[in-house]
Amino acid sequence: MNAPFAAAALDQIRSELASGPRQLLIDGRFVPAASGETFDVVDPATGQVFASAASGGREDVDRAAQAARRAFDGWAATPPAQRARLLLRLADLIEAHGERIALTESLDNGMPFMMAKFAGVMGAADQLRYNAGWATKITGETVQPSAPGEWHAFTLREPVGVVGAIVPWNFPFVMSVAKIAPALAAGCTVVLKPAEQTPLTAVILGELLLEAGFPAGIVNIVTGYGETAGAAIVDHPGVDKVSFTGSTAVGKAIVRASTGNLKRVTLELGGKSPNIIFADADLSKAIPGAAMGIFGNAGQVCAAGSRLFVHEAVFDEVVEGIKERARTLKVGPGLAPGTEMGPLVSQEQLDRVLSYVESGAGEGATISVGGQRLSDQDAGYFIQPTVLTGTVSGMRVVEEEIFGPVLCAMKFGEGDDLDAVAAQANSTEYGLSSAIWTRDLSTALKLCRRLKAGTVRINGGAGVDPGLPLGGYKQSGWGRENGRAGVEAYTELKAVTVAL
Ligand code: ADP
């Protein structure tokens, strides 16, 4: 199979990345970190350093936040149609530079090139076009107060101010865009921090923002570590809101650290999402759906279907089908032709996932398939797609987010009514996503109401859609991204009364 990209494009990206560290974007200019420090960027398919980036710190974040503050009034006052035009122009530029972005994303994160192209590049363009539409449609309401007299009362939605956007490494480009797009549509300015494992495509985003014509300071990009650059954003008094996607542990740390000026905080955190298959389900769809629900992006997906609950009548058939998929799945470098699952993002993540598999086995689970680092890929962070059976509540592998291609398969029986199935599905601290497979619409909709999850996918999911709210119940987060709720999360609501 031929590579779906031009080899010359890859060579050019590699030589550009080798030419020097990527820089911070502050106030419309690319600059090194104030400290001069940089950090290495590792290719997860080889374990080798192939690029570096400026290691932003407190001083850089402060300059970025000040630039965003200076730019804020002008941007908030920019006619919404002009904000929309710029967002649409950025979407076009992202598509035009799609190959470069997807190649860089695949090198940096390890994901298959086609995933980087569709979920990353096209997903980002979709986010921008969707949110460009909101720029001209954010409105308040008129209200009739009950106080005596004659009134004109209405609400105004105003941009919340300077936004700190902190994104993880699992879908770096689209997550960055999914944060800046609604923020910019609402009239906010941004300090964006990509994850230290995957800083590269955010820097390309910065270049394209300038090319699109966004004025200086509207979006500032500070690459760097979570505990330095990230923490500096979260406790900066000039940042009005933090929008964070990442682990629940860091989400809690952000809540604690953001109290200085009582920042608005939205959090999209971890999950341990149930995938529930009934005996009457169309297994020709449910089996591949469940398999790719956990093996897609090597399980490094907050909404990954990591707990499988299958009716006992079809349990063996379903688990065998998923195991077969696990055995045949093509695991390899993201840029190798035909790769279906790339490496994990880092050595740390590989160690973490392998230690969970070991802990599951130690607690009595059976490793039905996989469970090993791939021996012929010693240089990269490759792991076999893994299915654990004999797992029960209380085991760490069942309760905690692994963030790897590790499925815990469990069964339910004839005697379990929907309340019992829901109780099992709801039995973790998370509540991000869920999936139901059945041909019985009543079963599906009754169970849907019983699940404590921000997303329910019945007989298949539509992926992440910019129009569909994304977020979690319980410890999977605060607030929603995407949809009307997603853009309104970047606004303050003002009530205005006029005594007539
Ligand atoms: P994961 O566990 O998936 O690696 P994290 O939640 O650790 O994800 O990281 C997600 C993002 O949060 C990254 O950009 C990371 O640098 C950042 N981050 C990590 N720790 C902090 C912190 N204490 N304050 C702010 N940001 C942080």
Index of the ligand 1 atom closest to the CA of residue 168: 10
Catalytic residue among 99, 105, 196, 268: 268
Q: What is the mean pLDDT of residues 356-374?
A: 97
Q: How far is the CA of 192 from the centre of ligand 1 (A)?
A: 13
CA angle centred on 237, ends 231 and 238, rounded to 5°:
105
- Name which residue sits closest to atom 27 of ligand 1, judged by CA: 226
Q: What is this structure's pTM? A: 0.97
Ligand 1 site residues (CB inside 6 A) read 166-168, 193, 195-196, 225-227, 230-231, 234, 246-247, 250, 253-254
pLDDT of residue 4: 83
* pLDDT range class, residue 174, cuts 50, 70, 90: very high
Nearest of 111, 170, 108 to residue 342 by alpha carbon: 111
* pLDDT range class, residue 1, cuts 50, 70, 90: low
- Name which residue sits closest to atom 15 of ligand 1, judged by CA: 226
Using a 10 angstrom Cβ sphere, with 0-12 exposed, 13-18 middle and 19 or more buried, the burial of residue 247 is middle
Index of the ligand 1 atom closest to the CA of residue 254: 24
- Name which residue sits closest to atom 19 of ligand 1, judged by CA: 226
d(CA 88, CA 81): 10
- Name which residue sits closest to atom 23 of ligand 1, judged by CA: 227
Catalytic residue among 302, 340, 408, 481: 302
Torsion, CA 198, CA 202, CA 203, CA 207, rounded to 10: 160
Nearest of 429, 388, 390, 389 to residue 406 by alpha carbon: 388
Kindly report, residue by residue over 209-220, the tens digit of the pLDDT.
999 999 999 999
Is residue 167 a contact partner of residue 179, using CB atoms and an 8 Å limit? yes
* Beta sheet of 142-143, edge-to-edge order: 142-143, 151-159, 491-499
Does 302 participate in catalysis according to the annotation? yes
Q: How far is the CA of 306 from the centre of ligand 1 (A)?
A: 21
Kindly report, residue by residue over 417-467, the tens digit of the pLDDT.
999 999 999 999 999 999 999 999 999 999 999 999 999 999 999 889 999
pLDDT of residue 375: 75
Give the distance from CA 120 to its chain's centroid.
11
pLDDT of residue 378: 67
Q: How far is CA 277 from CA 42, 185, 385, 426, 436, in A?
A: 39, 40, 20, 15, 6
d(CA 152, CA 144): 7
- Name which residue sits closest to atom 24 of ligand 1, judged by CA: 231
Q: What SS3 class is residue 241?
A: strand
Q: Is the pLDDT of residue 88 over 70?
A: yes
Nearest of 338, 421, 51 to residue 204 by alpha carbon: 51
Q: Which of 234, 239, 250, 302 to mutate to test the pocket of ligand 1 (most atoms within 8 A of CB)?
A: 250
Give the distance from CA 27 to its chain's centroid.
26
Phi and psi angles of residue 12, each rounded to the nearest 5 degrees, phi first: -65, -40
Q: Is the pLDDT of residue 379 over 90?
A: no
* Beta sheet of 307-311, edge-to-edge order: 366-369, 386-389, 406-412, 307-311, 274-277, 435-437, 457-458
Nearest of 164, 123, 201, 189 to residue 467 by alpha carbon: 123
Q: What is the mean pLDDT of residues 270-286?
A: 98
Q: Is the pLDDT of residue 27 over 80?
A: yes
Is residue 34 a contact partner of residue 59, using CB atoms and an 8 Å limit? yes
Q: Is the pLDDT of residue 377 over 70?
A: no
Q: Which helix (H) or strand (E) holds 41?
A: strand 38-43
Q: How far is the CA of 248 from the centre of ligand 1 (A)?
A: 10
At a CB cut-off of 8 Å and minimum separation 6, what does 249 contact?
A: none
Q: How far is the CA of 247 from the centre of ligand 1 (A)?
A: 7
d(CA 58, CA 35): 10
Other residues' Cβ atoms within 10 Å of the Cβ of residue 215: 16
Q: What is the mean pLDDT of residues 298-312?
A: 98
- Name which residue sits closest to atom 8 of ligand 1, judged by CA: 246
Q: What sign does the CA torsion over 237, 240, 243, 249 have?
A: positive
Q: What is the mean pLDDT of the chain?
A: 97
Q: What is the mean pLDDT of residues 9-14?
A: 96
Q: How far is the CA of 414 from the centre of ligand 1 (A)?
A: 43
Q: What is the mean pLDDT of residues 132-136?
A: 98
Q: What is the mean pLDDT of residues 162-174?
A: 98
Computed on alpha carbons and rounded to an integer, the radius of gyration of the chain in Å comes to 23
Q: What SS3 class is residue 416?
A: coil
Does 320 participate in catalysis according to the annotation? no
What percent of the chain has a predicted confidence (pLDDT) above 70?
Answer: 99
Other residues' Cβ atoms within 10 Å of the Cβ of residue 146: 6
Q: Which of 166, 233, 265 to mutate to test the pocket of ligand 1 (most atoms within 8 A of CB)?
A: 166
Q: How far is the CA of 385 from the centre of ligand 1 (A)?
A: 25
